[in-house]
Amino acid sequence: MTLPRTPSFRLDGRRALVAGASSGIGAACAVALAEYGAEVTLCARREAELEILAKDMRAEGWRAETLPLDVTDLDATQAALAERPAFDVLVNSAGLARHSPATETTPEDFDTAANLNFRAAYFLTRSVAKGLLAAGKPGSLINITSQMAHVGGIDRAVYSATKHAVEGMTKSMAIEWGPHGIRVNTIAPTFIRTPMTVGTFANPERAAWIASKIKLGRVGETTDIMGAVVFLASDAAALVTGTSLFVDGGWTAG
């Protein structure tokens, strides 16, 4: 008999855009994609951090360039992408948190979180998709959401709402662009040790709550996301679209 062969996880010849690449999950995703052969464009507001990461990646023999950009500036983002060939892969990891009891949410905090986590994500995904459609190419668009897009959390009404919105747009975009070979998915991590979560882990009450929820008994590291992003970007996930890949240590299973 002819034995089947596992589709390749390699990303050679593909161009990837990683937003929020200056630190944390975004930086880890950029490294993972480059390690598997992609030519990676690192996008974030912090130019100095991008240059350091790009330099270190090039030292490994990988291909990386920087694109200093505030993705909440929709006109600038669209213009920057229009100047470049279509990206085969998008990882949208740009995000922030404004945690507080719902009764204390300010309009300013709501708008700040929604503008980056949802509005910017929506239009960045749209811009990359438009480039693929114009070029007649397939692609893989990946939005980093959170387990909090699927469950509630202490002081996280705004954050959960913005991430839930991204889950919703992802499903609709997957339906719309599926006939063109463009896949759209999310990765929903649990609490990951990054600069953004330092304050949460420093709070003993919050740290104990997190530890009680994660069934595997540990919080996440950025390396836990790397395999997931390579999988969704690659041909190994060729029939995966419109869904969320949980990297949550079993949190949502309970």
* DSSP state, residue 98: -
Convert the pLDDT of each residue in 79-107 to its tens digit: 999 999 999 999 999 999 888 999 999 99
CA distances from 223 to 68, 246, 252 (A): 24, 14, 20
* DSSP state, residue 101: -
In this structure, the strands spanning 182-189 and 63-68 are unpaired
Mean pLDDT of the chain: 96
pLDDT band at 211 (very low <50, low <70, confident <90, very high): confident
- pLDDT for the residue 205: 87
Q: Is 247 a residue whose pLDDT tops 90? A: yes
- pLDDT for the residue 194: 85
- pLDDT for the residue 132: 98
- Write down all domains in the chain, each with its CATH number in brackets: 15-247 (3.40.50.720)
Average of per-residue pLDDT across 158-171 = 97
- pLDDT for the residue 207: 86
Q: Is 108 a residue whose pLDDT tops 90? A: yes
- pLDDT for the residue 153: 85
CA distances from 23 to 57, 162, 165, 188 (A): 13, 21, 24, 18
What's phi and psi for 238, nearest 5 deg? Answer: -60, -25
CB 126 within 8 A of CB 78: no
Q: List residues with catalytic annotation.
A: 159
Can you tell me the distance from the alpha carbon of 162 to that of 72, in angstroms, rounded to the nearest whole number?
A: 14
Can you tell me the distance from the alpha carbon of 127 to that of 133, in angstroms, rounded to the nearest whole number?
A: 10
Average of per-residue pLDDT across 53-58 = 98
Average of per-residue pLDDT across 130-144 = 98
